[in-house]
Amino acid sequence: MNHQQYFDANRDAWNKKTFVHKNSSFYDIVSFKADKTSLNEIELKELGSVNGKTLLHLQCHFGMDTLSWAREGAIVTGIDFSEEAIKTAEELREELNIPAEFICCNVYDTSQYINQQFDIVFTSYGVIGWLPELDAWAKVIAESLKVGGIFYMVEFHPVVWMLDEDFQYIKYYYHNESVVEDEQTGSYADRYADIHYKEYGWNHSIGEVLNSLIKHGLMILHFNEFNFSCYNCFNNLVQGEDGYWRVKGLENKIPMMYSLKATKKIE
Ligand SMILES: C[S@@+](CC[C@H](N)C(=O)[O-])C[C@H]1O[C@@H](n2cnc3c(N)ncnc32)[C@H](O)[C@@H]1O
């Protein structure tokens, strides 16, 4: 299969998942509509004030986080390649009357759709694993940022993606050695949902992430690793008193997420 065929299959899968996600308790759209932010303390704290800043959200899914940043005062644009996700994001925007622009495109094609540079580029939780390579991704980030602008990401750790679905043994490569093909039913937001699809992912080592950004002129300001997940989105997780989720039997032994802040030094 070529990259376009992988993207087409993944887009179909995300269209199916969006139908399930928007009605799931996992995404809790009811609380979101009642003004609860969908953002976590980590990104809120680490990114800091976004008030009055232009913010581009890459792979925004159906826009809850994008619209939450708008509620924090940012002037937001969200992009995602799932037509259903963007349609749902636009419906939410209209219903809640929150200013936001949403664009349906492949993240690799962002610069063809957006002729603007932003103060902030943001992406989070479950994004780069859908991308076969990071060089063109980092180029898009650099092209989308103003000089002095901030790129912020918070993402699941590649160590998590090395392990089998129940966290019992090492099943996959740490490095981006090959595509991982997966036949799935349900979704992380509703394991019993009546949807079936094939999807294709890639694991990206920390070195690959950092070097792709450095190569395109970004200077790393911080890189943090967390031994927990903000979300109960994997099998066998237990919730700690701090509210965060860890693998049962492996509590605090493995990294589960990382966050990264970088700035663009030169055009
Ligand atoms: C796990 S979700 C994003 C997580 C987000 N924090 C959330 O839960 O709302 C991943 C998103 O990436 C999008 N996506 C996957 N591959 C993409 C690509 N090549 N270009 C643009 N969007 C892509 C999917 O459509 C999906 O909406």
Compute, in angstroms, the gap from residue 18 CA to the centroid of ligand 1: 10
Give 232's contacts (C-beta < 8 A, 6+ positions apart): 26, 239, 245
> What whole-number distance in Å separates Cα of residue 155 and Cα of residue 166?
20
What pLDDT does residue 15 have?
Answer: 98
| Prediction pTM value | 0.98
| Distance (Å, whole) CA 75 – CA 61 | 18
Write out the two tokens for 116: 């603007």
The pairing of strands 75-80 and 101-104 is parallel
Could you tell me if 109 and 180 are in contact, meaning their C-beta atoms sit under 8 angstroms apart? Answer: no
Atom of ligand 1 nearest to the CA of 123: 6
pLDDT at 25: 96
Q: Which atom of ligand 1 is nearest to the CA of 124?
A: 6
**Residue 6 has what pLDDT?**
98
CA distance readout (Å), 206 to 60, 217, 260: 22, 17, 10
Give residue 185's region: left, alpha or beta (phi > 0; psi -120 to 50). beta
Distance 80 CA to ligand 1 centre (A): 6
Residue type, 26: F
Distance 127 CA to ligand 1 centre (A): 5
pLDDT number for residue 266: 83
Distance 85 CA to ligand 1 centre (A): 9
Q: Nearest 5°: CA angle at 38, between 197 and 85?
A: 35
For 266, half-sphere exposure in the C-beta direction (CA atoms, 13 angstrom radius) is: 4
User: What residues are in contact with ligand 1 under a 6 Å CB criterion?
Assistant: 7, 10, 14, 59, 61, 64-65, 80-82, 85, 106-107, 124-127, 130-131
Q: Where are the alpha helices (DSSP H) in 114-254?
A: 135-144, 158-162, 206-215
The residue whose CA has the least distance to atom 25 of ligand 1 is 82
Distance 5 CA to ligand 1 centre (A): 17
- Residue ranges of the chain with per-residue pLDDT less than 70: none
On whether the CB atoms of residues 261 and 224 are closer than 8 A, the answer is no
- How far apart are the CA of 14 and the centre of ligand 1, in A? 8
What the block records as the tokens of 65 is 């986080």
Rounded Cα distance, 158 and 29, in Å = 29
Q: Whose CA is nearest to atom 26 of ligand 1?
A: 61
Q: Whose CA is nearest to atom 27 of ligand 1?
A: 61
